[in-house]
Structure 1
Amino acid sequence: MRLALAALVLLLAGPTPSQFAPAQAPAQLRRGLASAEAAIRAAACDAERRFGEGDPDANASRCEGVRGPPGVEVGRTSARLRNPRNAPPGWAKAYLAQTDGKKASEVEPAVFDLGDRVGLLRPIEIRKRCLSCHADRAEVAESTRAWLEAAYPRDQSFGYALGDLRGFWWAEAAK
């Protein structure tokens, strides 16, 4: 029964896109990969500015003037969502499932050939500042926990430790 259910899930999911490490991506994916990388860099810089560890200028030189290229979709996702609007794109779901529960250092970025587009997943590591909202539920400050529970009643993103894989930055760009 389980085997039949697994086969049905794979069948309904559609074809699995080809997957590569960024350094091994074929030439026809490289232009789109560069756009996807730039979009993730811009989004990550924005997140650093908003959630930095007390020093807003810590990443100033790395992030100065960084803007994402037009026409590239970018976001954050995880196998354990806090915000349901951050659900993964279909092409990313299998990779998220197979990497959930690992340390970020054990997970490589992944590039996907999506036909006329390129998909990219870049791991997000749990850092010290992340634990104020993503540690075990009992370790999160009561006021923070109350706010999170009110804002995200189906929150699944507690229980992380330093160095864990939190999720991924993802981007889709034209080839």
Structure 2
Amino acid sequence: MKSNSFYPLVGIALFALAAPVLAHSFAIAKIAIGHPWTRETAATQTVGGGFLTIRNTGKTTDRLISASSPFSTEVQIHNMSMDGGVMKMRQLKDGIAIPAGQSVELKPGGLHLMFIGLKKPFKQGAKIPATLKFARAGSVQVTFAVQPVGSTAPMEAGHAGH
């Protein structure tokens, strides 16, 4: 016969296992932000990229208009594209539209955030705090998980290094 304390312990254990996954998603109003991540940087590197998925569950387009972090002097919204075999990166001063009912992915080789003037290197396993500001939804605090240098997509809790 199992003790009455067994079932609460199972619930606590399940929550503890789920917490790392749940803790890496953020939301404000009708905006959901999934799995912000960045790459480890070299000791002399002064910039780093920021990647995440933004979902607008509302009925009105919103816009990511700015970002900031205490770990860099500035955070800019950028787009990277290839033009005739030449990589071109440009700042999107008007931000990024997040259409109603849709998702926008910020990823390597496309839309992304640029942490400029890093105050110290991003180390694998660290968490980089940042604030994202939306035109309608307002500001939300997020945390970027620092992944290995060669990462091309977010690594979920428990799957890093696979």
TM-score normalised by the shorter chain: which range applies?
under 0.3
Tell me the TM-score normalised to structure 2 length: 0.26
Higher strand proportion (structure 1 or 2): 2
Tell me the TM-score normalised to structure 1 length: 0.25
Higher helix proportion (structure 1 or 2): 1
